[in-house]
Structure 1
Amino acid sequence: MISSQHETPRVSLDTELRNAAAKLRKHVKHATDGPWVTSSVWSPRATSTSAVYSHAHPAGSVDSEVVASGRIKSGYGGIRQPWNAEYIALMQPAVGAALAELLEVEADVVAARIAQDGTDEYAADFGTGHLVDIARLINGEEATR
């Protein structure tokens, strides 16, 4: 049976992993240096909100602002949920760089398995697929699990 639909060729697992690592590295390269910290921000005309700052730059400088809070009454954005700021601070560039390295190592393992026996079966993190799921999420795709 001939299909009239074009099937998108499957990208190999090692390519998915390398694409995610490259995307992370690009964002790490352009992100504000870490370490990142959170701080409550108070305004006389708004309620408390949270912001994320970099300690790699002088306090109060524009360069120190990772995610600046907005003015709630004016309708501008801003982080109103402190846990969001805490999470963003945890995912500072050093974490992204380490994750990119882990994905790259996993891509090497998958590529070696493919070269050895022509299959990527059980090559990705001992068959769990967790790193492939992470790569797919970074690449804007749905995880398989």
Structure 2
Amino acid sequence: MTELRDAVAKLRKHVKHATDGPWVTSSVWSPRATSTSAVYSHAHPAGSVESEVVASGKIRSGYGGIREPWNAEYIALMQPAVGAALAEWLHLVADVVEARIAQDGSDEYAVDIEGDHALVVARLINGGAK
């Protein structure tokens, strides 16, 4: 139980300090291609410093670099292994829901026992609203 609560606390801390989303990626964005990729927040006006979540590449004349260190921390926290674990969890929940539908013939109660949290996560990953 301690491990779960520690992970929740760590994740919530990083979520609290990272730039709000949704985040989107963009390829070469700087005037002289000094950065090869960037992540922007749609929660802030386009082109504003606040909208620049993370930019990778060579820093030149103020272009590129990390705008908010917490964003890099959050991105590092969401490493591919976390994504793989989330995918496995969503796969398992989908199997359970599919089995419930097959058994009952209805999707009325065929939600995950966590109160639809898996559906919320899936919709956010798919670009939909909670």
Normalized against structure 2, the TM-score is what?
Answer: 0.52
8 Å contact kept, 1:121–1:127: no
CA deviation digits over 1:22-62, x for unaligned, max 9? xxxxxxxxxxxxxxxxxxxxxxxxxxxxxxxxxxxxxxxxx
CA RMSD in angstroms, aligned pairs only: 1.9
The count of aligned residue pairs is: 76
2:129 counterpart of 1:142: yes
2:96 aligns with 109
For 1:56-90, what per-residue CA distance to the aligned partner results, in whole angstroms no more than 9, with x for missing partners?
xxxxxxxxxxx73652x624232121110100000
Which residue pairs with 1:100 in the alignment?
87
Aligned to 2:69: 82
Distance in 2 of aligned mates of 1:70 and 1:124: 47
Structure 1's unaligned 5+ residue stretches are 1-66
- Once residues 66 and 105 of structure 2 are traced to their aligned partners in structure 1, the CA distance between those partners, rounded to angstroms, is 48
Give the partner amino acid of 1:133: V
| Distance of 1:76 and 1:119 partners within structure 2 | 54
Does the CA-based 8 Å contact 2:90-2:122 persist in structure 1?
yes
Q: Distance in 1 between matches of 2:69 and 2:58?
A: 13
Alignment of 1:68 with 2:44, yes or no, is: no
Q: Distance in 2 between matches of 1:114 and 1:101?
A: 20
Q: Which has the larger radius of gyration?
A: 1
Superposed structure 1 runs of 4+ greater than 3 Å apart? 67-70
Q: CA deviation at 1:124?
A: 2.1
**TM-score if structure 1 supplies the norm length?**
0.47
